[in-house]
Amino acid sequence: MTAVSSSVRTIRIGSRKSQLALVQTHWVKKQLEGKFPEIKFEVHAMATQGDKILDVALAKIGDKGLFTKELELGMINHEIDFAVHSLKDLPTNLPQGLVLAAITERENPADALVLAQKYQGKQIADLPDGTVIGTSSLRRLAQLRHRFPHFTFKDVRGNLNTRMGKLDAGEYDALILAVAGLERLEMSDRIHQVLPPEISLHAVGQGALGIECRADDIELISLLKAIEHPETRDRCLAERAFLRDLEGGCQVPIGVNTEIQNGQLTLTGIVASVDGKNLVKDSVTGALAAAEALGTKLAHILRQKGASEILSQIFAEIQRDTSAKQ
* Active-site residue set: 89
Give whole-number Cα distances, 224 to 2, 39, 181, 219, 273, in Å: 11, 13, 22, 9, 38
CB 273 within 8 Å of CB 253: yes
What type of residue is 70?
E
Expressed in angstroms, the distance from the first to the final Cα of the chain is 50
DSSP-assigned beta bridge partners for residue 115: 174
What type of residue is 18?
S
DSSP element (H, E) containing 45: strand 40-46
DSSP element (H, E) containing 261: strand 254-261
Q: Nearest Cα to 101, choosing from 234, 213, 233? A: 213
* 3-class SS of residue 133: strand
Distance CA 170, CA 257 (A): 32
Angle at the Cα of 243 from the Cα atoms of 238 and 247, rounded to 5 degrees? 145
